Amino acid sequence: MSSPDHIEQAIEMIIDSDRNVVDSYETPAPIEGSTVEKQQRKRYRSEVWKHFTQLDKRAGQREECRCNYCGQLYACSSRSGTGHLNRHIFEGRCQKYKAMQFNLQTSTPTPTPTPTPTPPLHEGEDHDNLLRSAPVKVSPTHTPNDSFHKENLEHMELQLARMKDENARLQKENDDTRVQKESLEKLLVNMASEAARLSEENSKLKEDYAKLQEEKERSVTREEFTRLEAQVSKLREEFEKDLRGFPATVAMALGQIHKNRQT
């Protein structure tokens, strides 16, 4: 099928998107006695199904179908109809199908319309009246599909602009993240260096504290030795004093004993 025919068919399906399933009924025959002929109903498969693949139904789950272009899943039971499927394909919700159609349409060369020559303006003629009276030639290549092409082109341009804005935003966030990462790495290096310095200072402080404790113990021992030495010296002086007074004390004691014997 050529591209214009395919596009025209797509437009017709968009217009008829609410017609989910075409049902035709044959007029039942007249009732004859107790026999009634059953109505014959024919169901025609919608054209939209060629854009979807019906999946196997799993136990306890709904019937689903998958878009052949973007993989979107939709309910596809006999009661759900195909309106949502038509909207997905023919109303531009499937971006991949729309892009494919756009590429297909733009790849087909369109003949350039021949411009209509404007009659020369003579002296005394009104240019506006001349333009209004000039015949308008419609290009035979202009079809209703041109508006569809234009809409697709505008949509693609809008989508491209959004993608550029999104890329710019993501690039800015990426740059900010990279700057933050570099700052954190520098901070980690500085913190590691500071931790090493503090650990070294802590070890040095522990060594200094141990030395102070040792000097303190030595100082206490020296003071205790000096105090004991002073006590010994005092005792020695008292002993020498008592030793010097010992003969006189003995003599007095002996005299007292002798006196007591006489009495």
pLDDT (mean) for 90-97 = 85
- Can you name the residues that pair with 43 across neighbouring β-strands? 23
Dump pLDDT digits (tens) for 161-199.
889 889 999 999 999 999 999 989 999 998 988 889 988
Q: Are 141 and 111 in contact (CB under 8 A)?
A: yes
Q: How confident is the model at residue 143 (pLDDT cuts 50, 70, 90)?
A: low
Provide CB contacts within 8 A for 235, sequence distance 6+: none
Q: Which pLDDT score, from 0 to 100, does residue 150 have?
A: 76
Query: Residue 190 phi/psi, 5° resolution?
Result: -65, -40
Say yes or no to pLDDT of 144 above 70. no
Say yes or no to pLDDT of 146 above 90. no
Q: Which pLDDT score, from 0 to 100, does residue 79 have?
A: 74
Worst-scoring range by mean pLDDT, 17-21, 75-79, 195-199, 244-248? 17-21
Percent of the chain's residues with pLDDT above 70: 63
Start-to-end CA span in the chain (Å): 170
Q: Are 67 and 52 in contact (CB under 8 A)?
A: yes
Give the up-direction half-sphere exposure of residue 90: CA atoms within 13 A in the CB hemisphere.
24
Could you tell me if residue 199 is left (phi over 0), alpha (psi between -120 and 50 degrees) or otherwise beta? alpha
Give the 3-state DSSP-derived string for 173-210, with helices as H, strands as E and coil as C: HHHHHHHHHHHHHHHHHHHHHHHHHHHHHHHHHHHHHH
Q: Are 152 and 160 in contact (CB under 8 A)?
A: no
Q: How far, in Å, CA of 16 to CA of 89, rounded?
A: 13
Q: Are 67 and 93 in contact (CB under 8 A)?
A: no
Dump pLDDT digits (tens) for 33-47.
444 444 555 556 788
